[in-house]
Amino acid sequence: MASVIAGGDSGMRGRLEGRSHAGLMCGLCKAGQALSRPFAAEGSSMRFLIIATAALFAACGRTPAPAPLPAADPGTQRATAQGDVVGFTAENGVKIWRGLPFAAPPVGDLRWRAPRAPAPWSGLREAVAPAAICPQISNVFNADEGHAPGTLLGAEDCLYLDVYAPANADPKATPVMVFIHGGGNVWGSARQYDPSNLAANENVLVVVVQYRLGPLGWFAHEAIRDAAETPEDKAASFALLDLAAALEWVKANAGAFGGDASRVTIFGESAGGHNVAGLLASPRAKGLFHRAIIQSGLFDSVAAAEAENGGGPDINPARAIGERLGARDAAALRAVPLDKLFAVYELDSGGFASMPRMIADGVALPEAGLRAALADAATFNAAPVITGTNRDEMKLFQMVDPRLVNRTFGVFFTAKDAHFYDRLADYQSRLWRIRSVDEPAALMTGAGHAPVYAYRFDWDEGGRFLWTDLKKLLGAAHAIEIPFVMNRFQLLGRLDPVMWTKASAEEREALSRQMGGYWAAFARDGDPNGVPVDGERPEWAPWKRDGALMRLDGASGGGAGMIAGVDSVDRLIADLESEGGLTPAQKKIIADALGLWLPARAADFAAAAG
């Protein structure tokens, strides 16, 4: 599929994949459960989501032919610390280098080890082809790429990044923005994204990074620790170490592409945002970045003992996986073929809970856990932060659930009960905001950290095709903000012509330039308003105790501007208790969904539902 993301954000693809993760929560396992399980009579409901989504997209046309590789442009030759590279120049003048190695291939004995330095090369390395994606299970959105859902894709030799430099990048003076893709930490790749318009419009250097996924990126096992060659080899969150290694590469090489290594911003969406939060707390990332943007990420982690032995909501403890594979020592584990490793991981996954969570291993992430680390000045990697969510996050998931929508001819979707559809989405989307914005912003500002800026993305002007009204079904759903940040309105594959209409084009472009301007000003100055304030956009005030959110919307929705107020779990519970217009069964469904998001308050949600 086409990109900003080619055919659906990493997050969207991840939720619908159906085997290794099956959950579009992009890194947020419980959120995936929250929609699915309250409706399920028995077993996983993902086969329904797969059928619905496949019908929606497969009916829209044939697989496009792959585009030919661009020709190398001698004017893009650069000297990196590893050797000389040559890329190509896009139509908008942006210079692009694909598939640059930032670490040695994590294969063989380097599986489940901290990343090692990449090997140097002699001669000129051509960097015009995308790198291999990291091992992952395909989903329904891979249909456009010729892959049936459930197919094992990728190669372990996948630690590469892409660089996008504006045509007139100032030598060693262009702010650097490092993007971390989403996909539930089990799916996604650099090739899904094209930030060339962001680079061109805002004069920033954009780097898109790949990292180990699924059981290769998140794995806690005693045998692996016992065979460690370095202290970092004792980690479990290997993907975080990959991202730190990529940032080290950026620090060493940004100048070769015109980038300013003293102004590095990390930003990511969904699981990518979750990983940005992890880097804010990772001792391995200290000093490697200077600002952070978290788009629809969460701030949770799991203890290493739970990840290894179970005992909590995880049902994929690493020790049990090793035993099922008949591999108990490190050498045997590292020798397990990929297909067998992922097959066991899938078999034990139970659907939504299969997603690996960030592991507080005491190496890549402090043992106290992510939230505690962010509230502690001793462990927080002090940097200005932007964090935000989309107003209707959960509508992306609900749109493809046949228990909530009617399908006409297998293609056209309408909500079965429009009021319940909206209320279910609202409660879960609010809880997502609470867990991603209100609570972590209070934690970070309460601990006296650098400024925190918060937003809510509200644009909901998707188009309509016969019975399918995307304004109602999707609204301001999960991942919809990505095309606005990257100024490339391609997200939903063959639904894009329905989503991005000519009628909304002028408004979309204006909001996109505002958002790109905020993101880039933050990258330049650590302040989305610019320093000095440029006055081109409404002033964005930092978060305070009483809340301060920038609402990001088009002119038809009131435009961009500050809104006040803090949301909380207690307020959510009170609202559910007084909710009118829903049946007791519907209120119970909402309570069950919220309880899966936040098990510690499940009893309170249930009591509020009556």
- List active site positions: 270, 393, 478
Q: What is the spatial distance between Cα 397 and Cα 374, in angstroms, rounded to a whole number?
A: 29
Q: What is the spatial distance between Cα 207 and Cα 259, in angstroms, rounded to a whole number?
A: 10
Residue type, 314: D
Q: What is the spatial distance between Cα 12 and Cα 22, in angstroms, rounded to a whole number?
A: 10
Residue 224 DSSP SS3: helix
Q: Is 538 exposed, middle or buried (0-12, 13-18, 19+ CB in 10 A)?
A: middle
Sign (positive or negative) of CA dihedral 52, 57, 63, 67: negative
Task: Name, in order, each residue with C-beta under 8 angstroms of 499's C-beta and a sequence gap of 6 or more.
Answer: 462, 463, 470, 474, 489, 491, 492
- Opening angle at CA 594, ends 590 and 599, nearest 5: 140
Tokens of 91: 């139509």
Taking each helix axis as running N to C, give the angle between helix 418-433 and helix 584-597, from 0 to 180 degrees, rounded to the nearest 10: 20
Residue 270 DSSP SS3: coil
Q: What is the spatial distance between Cα 75 and Cα 43, in angstroms, rounded to a whole number?
A: 57
Q: What is the spatial distance between Cα 609 and Cα 588, in angstroms, rounded to a whole number?
A: 6
- As a whole number of Å, the end-to-end CA separation of the chain is 45
Residue closest to 399 by CA, chosen among 462, 472, 495? 472
Give, in order, the Cα–Cα distances in Å from 212 to each of 111, 276, 298, 371.
Answer: 10, 15, 19, 23
Strands, E assignment, 244-299? 259-269, 291-295
Q: What is the DSSP letter of 219?
A: -
Residue closest to 597 by CA, chosen among 429, 371, 354, 348? 429
Pairing of strands 291-295, 259-269: parallel
Element housing 179 (H / E)? strand 174-180
Residue closest to 128 by CA, chosen among 105, 96, 94? 96
Strands, E assignment, 16-159? 78-79, 84-86, 88-89, 95-101, 124-126, 136-137, 152-153
Residue type, 305: A
Q: What is the spatial distance between Cα 417 and Cα 461, in angstroms, rounded to a whole number?
A: 21
Task: Name, in order, each residue with C-beta under 8 angstroms of 426's C-beta and a sequence gap of 6 or more.
Answer: 392
Q: Is 208 left (phi over 0), alpha (psi -120 to 50) or beta?
A: beta
Helical segments of 354-417, H only: 370-374, 395-398
